[in-house]
Amino acid sequence: MAEKRKVVLAYSGGLDTSVILTWLQEKYDAEVITFTADIGQGEEVEPARAKAQQMGVKSIHIEDLREEFARDYVFPMFRANAIYEGEYLLGTSIARPLIAKRLVEIAKEHGAEYISHGATGKGNDQVRFELGAFALAPNLKTIAPWREWDLTSRETLMAYAKERNIPIDFAKSGKKSPYSMDANLLHISYEGGGLEDPYWEPEEDIWRWTVSPEKAPDAPQYVELSYQAGDIVAIDGVTMTPAEVMIKLNELGGKHGIGRLDLVENRYVGMKSRGCYETPAGTIMLRAHRAIESITLDREVAHLKDELMPRYASLVYNGYWWSPERKMLQVMIDESQAPVNGVVRVKLYKGNVIVAGRKSDNSLFDANIATFEDDRGAYNQKDAEGFIRLNGLRLRIAASKGRKMD
Amino acid sequence: MAEKRKVVLAYSGGLDTSVILTWLQEKYDAEVITFTADIGQGEEVEPARAKAQQMGVKSIHIEDLREEFARDYVFPMFRANAIYEGEYLLGTSIARPLIAKRLVEIAKEHGAEYISHGATGKGNDQVRFELGAFALAPNLKTIAPWREWDLTSRETLMAYAKERNIPIDFAKSGKKSPYSMDANLLHISYEGGGLEDPYWEPEEDIWRWTVSPEKAPDAPQYVELSYQAGDIVAIDGVTMTPAEVMIKLNELGGKHGIGRLDLVENRYVGMKSRGCYETPAGTIMLRAHRAIESITLDREVAHLKDELMPRYASLVYNGYWWSPERKMLQVMIDESQAPVNGVVRVKLYKGNVIVAGRKSDNSLFDANIATFEDDRGAYNQKDAEGFIRLNGLRLRIAASKGRKMD
Amino acid sequence: MAEKRKVVLAYSGGLDTSVILTWLQEKYDAEVITFTADIGQGEEVEPARAKAQQMGVKSIHIEDLREEFARDYVFPMFRANAIYEGEYLLGTSIARPLIAKRLVEIAKEHGAEYISHGATGKGNDQVRFELGAFALAPNLKTIAPWREWDLTSRETLMAYAKERNIPIDFAKSGKKSPYSMDANLLHISYEGGGLEDPYWEPEEDIWRWTVSPEKAPDAPQYVELSYQAGDIVAIDGVTMTPAEVMIKLNELGGKHGIGRLDLVENRYVGMKSRGCYETPAGTIMLRAHRAIESITLDREVAHLKDELMPRYASLVYNGYWWSPERKMLQVMIDESQAPVNGVVRVKLYKGNVIVAGRKSDNSLFDANIATFEDDRGAYNQKDAEGFIRLNGLRLRIAASKGRKMD
Amino acid sequence: MAEKRKVVLAYSGGLDTSVILTWLQEKYDAEVITFTADIGQGEEVEPARAKAQQMGVKSIHIEDLREEFARDYVFPMFRANAIYEGEYLLGTSIARPLIAKRLVEIAKEHGAEYISHGATGKGNDQVRFELGAFALAPNLKTIAPWREWDLTSRETLMAYAKERNIPIDFAKSGKKSPYSMDANLLHISYEGGGLEDPYWEPEEDIWRWTVSPEKAPDAPQYVELSYQAGDIVAIDGVTMTPAEVMIKLNELGGKHGIGRLDLVENRYVGMKSRGCYETPAGTIMLRAHRAIESITLDREVAHLKDELMPRYASLVYNGYWWSPERKMLQVMIDESQAPVNGVVRVKLYKGNVIVAGRKSDNSLFDANIATFEDDRGAYNQKDAEGFIRLNGLRLRIAASKGRKMD
């Protein structure tokens, strides 16, 4: 008797992936292995176990990956000051490579030939999952139900689920948000619904992690962030793991109305898409990291990082975390971070992250040279003449030969 | 009898340049021609006339350049979304090319062989003035007193001024700020004094143009900005010139505590320097411009702009406005802006600039394609499979030949 | 009675596209409109008329596009010094946008909804044709027989042709080259056959346009190329059109064994591919253009061009000629070429293109400054000290604070 | 009694640096320590000892640095495929960092506060020496006689030498070349003299290391180069050290007329300069390295390297070898080279370096996928449709909204 084909499914426990689970069993006669991870989405993952069992799943993987996620994905990315299209902090993008990696590892463990996920055919996530799988296990195949089936509306999904007694929390799904959401330690995102009109401002109750700046405390709060090699290792003097850092900063940022973002972005698949994001910790981390770099990084190193940043961000956004070019850039970025040590003091107040001070034993800021006061010869102002004259030589020659520069 | 050497001086009417004026007359036996411009610094320029006359100046140029400054310098730069080192909006940098250009033109008009300025030998401004002069008038010479004389402290300057009856507003200079300041339509900057310790947070009363977020109104304000070819042409439906736009947005931003910045930057001459900046209009303009671009620019055009932006910003910062490479980049950027038309709605609240909507007749956002609902065939989800498979082909081949990507 | 669907086919007159013609008539019941262009491939295009007529085609377009191809595609690309992956001169890539444009225009003229081409599903050409069509006529559909049918070998094609009396020059196809070839004014390419082993050196008789360096004349030949705005406008003093320039340089280069290339390149669809190319004119043009730029372009303009060149080359290679980002780069490149005027003298000898001299009224080379002899004060050597000291200041500060740079 | 100031001089034994030696003793009352290195310039270094002794030098350092030069400077640079301004292989530039490093080390050893060199104030070499010294020993001072003294012509130098009995090989200097030359394992360069007219073609007898292509052997020669991690480790199967590789390839290249170059380059100090170069080994190494990379590097890694190459080359050219940004790029480049292993076969013939084959156990070339023959399903041609459709989606949307792309 032939063995069933094994499929490792990224299973959240929600409606969509529960339907997928059953659909895989039915359509592909598959033995489904579920994988559910806590990456800080803020919902219990254990309930997924009972549901999977109820649907006959024998191999159930439920894991707390928050620490690994923060340490090996979010933190390295923030060393690059990565922002996609000037605004987006890549909250969804950065979670996918870890999920892909675990799907692949579990598939290898079980000798499964397939993985499956609940991402649609319009979005970036399918690309991120599948490119990751290609890079880590080239022969693994992916089943992407949303690209195959005709259950294209919420109603058909619900009907399918009811018909087959799929265990759905109908009470919960009754009051379902009109938005498509995604959450992890770094952010929560909202798409769809009224957001599909980019001129429409979302109502206040769309936001879940942050209070509005208006409702944030009237008193600012100062926080001290300690850096080692580009990473935050302590908050207000208390040593923390990467995940603890993010949990704490999400709490602080959320309380002070920090990290809301409303934007239109360009998806890798070729369309523009409107999204709203809450990234409290990330918003603080980006600004603070730039502040500590501002005193510890060499100018040209900083500029090189800035020029390559958009490319790095696109790689992460487009799903190329597991690629030789991302790795190559990461090696370079990490090399630059050795001296990025010290303390940044930030003031949090009603949506604002204000840098209030930065210091470091590795500081390259030299008050003796920069001073407006007498510097006792630390800097010879006459040097500037030659500096300007030779930097301008090509311009002078060109102008004297009649080139117009205005 | 030999003609005196003519020197065109960038004259503010303040202590430093008044001393320079006299020093040039004395040391170089020069006929000094003064040039004083209103570029929105918020101080009267006419008083400079009486002072210059009192010091014997015969050719006095006092000009209102606010419109030219906004239209030909600030606005083109904002089409590039230029930020230096991730934070600085280039408020001082962008004013220098215009001053350099007028100095050169006035020198040509008078047949002067020299220009002079009050910038120190440690800063970027000397570079910006002098590179501009090289590019526009290669044979013009510059006298930079700060690189020559030994009046290196405020005390010696004051003594020099007193001794020669240089007309100084001693009342005003008595209560002089401990900071070195520079202002124009785009910003006001503060350097020196206590700021030379980057861990020290400036006291509240350093700031002159903005209220603190804490003291800003409790009620947010919505503003509608209309764009044509990348430039704001109307606010709340009222057509305005570039300078009017900036004056209005400075007023609105200042009222809502918007645009304060405290940073450590890398100067072109090789040192790190701490500066505080208020850029109310610029802060609003940058965010709003990105918002209108987000719906009107092609993805790859936007990404190309983003990748070249740091280089453009460095060119402006380093004083290469009048250079063939800046012009070359500008031509490219301007080319991209033809479709950047439409309206952005922003919400101003206690330091925050929140994008609340964007719309455009040139929008490339297509709700029919992006929708989470049934798109009636506008997008074929099956296309994604081939897209992913071929984008991943090189990764799959590499992985199947044993390359490690984790 | 329903109208037949109209398909505009890029028709070469050869076996493959003749089979496609019939297959479209048969499979799609299509009214096929043929388009055959002379872009310098070196074969008669008129014979395609009789064949098309014989297969019942009523609308036959045969055009000499050599001048347009050279002027609007090849020449603009050479202004960029475009080379893909350090070696490839983009000979095939640059011909596709023109073909795509004419297919689209002819389709519009006839009210056709389809175009069709003979490019395979593995190559770059399908991408170039179809992206071009998307950009120029978004609703036009493409039929790509090689991605649809099962005539996947030469034998099945021949059988299909015989069975249907498709007019093939069997004599000619009998002695068919084992290589897949493509030719136009810029190059001829060879792929497939024994070339699929990258360690195998092609036999001498693969090459068609150039003699081997060994067989080239023993006497070198000097040629003088005159440039205007970056384009060659005369050879040895004789004014020529762009196509005439290319024809002449192909003749000269071919005679002297110039322009052979054997390489492995990365295709856009994700695989590596071995190709051999002959690009006699292009090889001369690239080197000579760099030579005229070397004396007429500003340093920073030249460097900016060099840094963006790989991206420009990738855009052309990947099929994005008709894209806003290519256009944007082109505008910038063209802006830079205004002063690229003058004369370059090259020596051609057995595979070598040796620059033997360059001169220009727009030269920025200044012997008075560069000279090793006494320059009479044109350059003040003391300026170098300040130049070096300030360029090195950040390094000195870093080193003095203990940073290691070795 | 005060100790004399110690100066470590980069001493070649030639006229210029012999005069400098004496001048330092005389003008600065210095104890001069000489440093003479064999970096492959092809002249004996030992004669410098007797001359230095004759001039009273007590501490004489004569070193054979060829191996270190090839291994730690030339080879790492060739991993980057570095070319400055599209042509120049950086032969002079790459030798300076090593000289700077040894000058600094010797100065530390002797407790010297000064170094000195014979580079002029117009060139790049002064910058390279002095930036290196700043980076490695921030407090070390440099004496650059050419920027100080008035011995500005050959005649005054000779007179100075004669007057002081400086040991010059007058026989040799009598027939001195009219060109300024510099040589090391990587190249020999010529500047000045008749070359100051860029339209003048140098006479044949300027060249010293290579025969002319015309006089090169009529029979081609095949050579097999073995690579490990991006470096050549064997020639024709014989294992060699880096310096041995270069010596062998210089010999082979020189014999076959390979590596002559005649160009106008842009110096860092702001002027254009004409130079002729012979780089036999380097010319072969560059082409062969690209060939081995073509089959072993991932496409995106190769493209990233190509886009950063001009910047890397400028860093080396401008004297920033000892800088954190060069190091950062090097780390990234070296990371990419792990799989760059295998064999390249090149054919050398009358100035041509022709790649005749490349193979590697790490090859990513996959004939099964690339083949024009039946690939038995290795590649699904239908994938291309989705690939093209989604890559073109943004273009289609834009075109359908009326954007013009031609």
Beta strands D31-38; B231-235: pairing state = unpaired
Q: Is B400 on the interface with A (CB under 8 A)?
A: yes
Q: Is C380 on the interface with B (CB under 8 A)?
A: no
CA distance A403 to chain D (A): 15
CB contact under 8 A, D387 and B382: no
pLDDT value, residue A170 = 61
Give the residue with greater pLDDT, D92 vs C1: D92
> Does the CB of C401 have a partner CB in chain A at under 8 Å?
yes
Q: What is the pLDDT of residue C376?
A: 76
Q: Which residues of D are annotated as a binding site for L-aspartate?
A: 120, 124-125
Q: What is the pLDDT of residue D152?
A: 80
CA distance B397 to D212: 45
| Mean predicted lDDT score pLDDT of chain C | 95
Report the pLDDT value the prediction gives residue A176, as an integer from 0 to 100.
67
Averaged confidence pLDDT in chain A: 95
DSSP collapsed to 3 states, chain C? CCCCEEEEEECCCCHHHHHHHHHHHHHCCEEEEEEEEECCCCCCCCHHHHHHHHCCCCCEEEEECHHHHHHHHHHHHHHCCCCECCCECCCCHHHHHHHHHHHHHHHHHHCCCEEECCCCCCCCHHHHHHHHHHHHCCCCEEECHHHHCCCCCHHHHHHHHHHCCCCCCHHHHHCCCCCEEEECCCCEEEECHHHHCCCCCCCHHHCCCCCCHHHCCCCCEEEEEEEECCEEEEECCEECCHHHHHHHHHHHHHHCCCCEEEEEEECCCCCEEEEEEECHHHHHHHHHHHHHHHHHCCHHHHHHHHHHHHHHHHHHHHCCCCCHHHHHHHHHHHHHCCCCCEEEEEEEECCEEEEEEEECCCCCCCHHHHCCCCCCCCCCCCHHHHHHHHHCHHHHHHHHCCCCCC
The answer, for C120 touching chain D at a CB cutoff of 8 Å, is yes
**Nearest CA-CA partner of B339 in D398, C236, D163:** D398
Q: Is pLDDT of C158 > 70?
A: yes
- CA–CA separation, C11 and A11 (whole Å): 51
The DSSP H or E segment spanning D48 is helix D47-54
Enumerate the residues of chain C whose CB falls inside 8 A of the CB of residue B298.
323-325
Q: Name the nearest CA neighbour of C100 among C321, C276, C252.
A: C321
The answer to whether A134 touches A357, Cβ cutoff 8 Å, is no
CA distance B306 to chain D (A): 16
C197 among known catalytic residues: no
Q: Name the pLDDT band for C174 (thresholds 50, 70, 90).
A: low
Tell whether A301 lies on the interface with D, counting CB pairs under 8 A: yes
Whether pLDDT at A197 is above 60: yes
Specify whether C389 is catalytic: no
Task: Note whether C298 contacts B: Cβ–Cβ < 8 A.
Answer: yes
Confidence of residue B289 (pLDDT cuts 50, 70, 90): very high
Q: Which of B269, B325, B329 sits opposite C390 (nearest CB)?
A: B269
pLDDT computed for residue B373 by the predictor: 74
**Residue B302: pLDDT over 60:** yes
Residues across chain C? 406
d(CA C98, CA C41): 14
- The reported pLDDT for the residue numbered A105 is 98
Contact B285, B348 (CB under 8 A): no
**What digits encode the pLDDT tens for the residues A90-144?**
999 999 999 999 999 999 999 999 999 999 999 999 999 999 999 999 999 999 9
Residue C405 identity (one-letter amino acid): M
C218 annotated ligand binder: no
Interface predicted TM-score of the whole assembly (ipTM), two decimals: 0.96
Give the mean model confidence (pLDDT) for residues B278-302.
98
User: What's phi and psi for B212, nearest 5 deg?
Assistant: -75, 150
Q: Which of A130, A325, A397, A404 to mutate to test the interface with C (most CBs of C within 10 A)?
A: A397
E strands along D197-339, which residues? 221-228, 231-235, 238-239, 260-266, 272-278
Which of C270, C324, C391 has the CB atom closest to B391's CB atom? C270
C124 is in an annotated binding site: yes
With H, G, I as helix, E, B as strand and everything else as coil, classify residue B125: helix
pLDDT of residue D2: 66
Interface membership of C327 toward B (CB under 8 Å): yes
| Residue B270 contacts C where some CB pair is shorter than 8 Å | yes
C402 touches chain D (CB under 8 A): no
Q: What is the pLDDT of residue C3?
A: 81
- Specify the pLDDT at position B81: 98
pLDDT tops 80 at residue D311: yes
Contact D31, D6 (CB under 8 A): yes
Report which of residues D370 and A244 the model is more confident about: A244
Given this model, what pLDDT does residue A374 score?
A: 73
Predicted local distance difference test score (pLDDT) of residue D177: 79
Mean pLDDT of B244-271: 98
Cβ atoms within 10 A of the Cβ of D109, count? Answer: 12
Neighbors of chain A by Cβ distance (3+ pairs < 8 Å): B, C, D
Distance CA C114, CA C97 (A): 17
Region A184-188: what's the mean pLDDT? 98
Indicate the residue type of A367: A
Q: How confident is the model at residue A1 (pLDDT cuts 50, 70, 90)?
A: low
C29 is in an annotated binding site: no
What DSSP string runs through D75-134? HHHHHTT--BTTTB--TTGGGHHHHHHHHHHHHHHHT-SEEE----TTSSHHHHHHHHHH
CB C306 within 8 A of CB D309: no
Closest by alpha carbon to B81, among B258, B307, B247? Answer: B307
Confidence of residue B374 (pLDDT cuts 50, 70, 90): confident
3-state class (DSSP) for residue A60: strand
Q: How confident is the model at residue C168 (pLDDT cuts 50, 70, 90)?
A: confident
Residue-wise pLDDT tens digits, D271-289: 999 999 999 999 999 999 9
Residue A169's pLDDT band, with cuts at 50, 70 and 90, is: confident
- Whether A175 has a pLDDT exceeding 60, the answer reads no
**What's the mean pLDDT when you consider all of chain B?**
95
Contact A385 C386 (CB under 8 A): yes
| A226 carries an active-site annotation | no
Instruction: Write out the catalytic residue numbers of B.
Output: 16, 96, 125, 180
Element (H, E) at D198: none
C15-32 burial string, b = 16+ CB within 10 Å, else e? bbbbbbbbbbbeebebbb
Express each pLDDT in C294-342 by its tens digit: 999 999 999 999 999 999 999 999 999 999 999 999 999 999 999 999 9
**Using 50, 70 and 90 to split pLDDT, how confident is the model at D173?**
low
The CA distance from B330 to A346, in Å, is 36
Interface test with chain D among B311, B363, B401, by most D beta carbons within 10 Å: B401
A177 is in an annotated binding site: no
Nearest to A358 among B199, B351, B363 (CB): B199
**Whole-number Å distance between alpha carbons of A123 and B372:** 10
User: Helix and strand tally (H, E) in chain A?
Assistant: 16, 14
In terms of DSSP bridges, do strands C260-266 and C238-239 run parallel, antiparallel, or are they unpaired?
unpaired
Mean local confidence (pLDDT), B315-320:
98
The pLDDT tens digits of the residues spanning B6-48 come to: 999 999 999 999 999 999 999 999 999 999 999 999 999 999 9
Nearest CA in chain A to C397: A364
Confirm or deny that C15 is annotated as ligand binding.
yes
pLDDT digits (tens, 9 = 90+) for D82-113: 999 999 999 999 999 999 999 999 999 999 99
pLDDT at position C170 over 70:
no
Q: Give the residue among D176, D175, D108 at the shortest CA–CA distance from D138.
A: D108
For chain C, which domains are there?
6-76+89-176 (3.40.50.620), 183-297+339-359 (3.90.1260.10)
> What pLDDT, on the 0 to 100 scale, is given for residue C171?
57
Q: Name every chain C residue with its beta carbon within 8 A of the beta carbon of D199.
A: 343, 345, 357-359
> For residue C386, which residues of chain A lie inside 8 Å, CB to CB?
380, 382-387, 389-390
> C21 and C28 in contact (C-beta within 8 Å)?
no
pLDDT of B153 over the 90 cut: no
| Binding site, annotated residues of D | 10-18, 37, 88, 93, 118, 120, 124-125, 128, 180, 189, 265, 277
Q: Is the pTM of this model over 0.95?
A: yes
Contact list in B for residue C388 (CB cut-off 8 A) is none
The confidence score (pLDDT) of residue B233 equals 98
- pLDDT tens digits, C210-225: 999 999 999 999 999 9
Please answer yes or no on whether D301 and A266 come within 8 Å at the CB atom: no
* Closest partner CB to C301 (pick from B270, B325, B332): B325
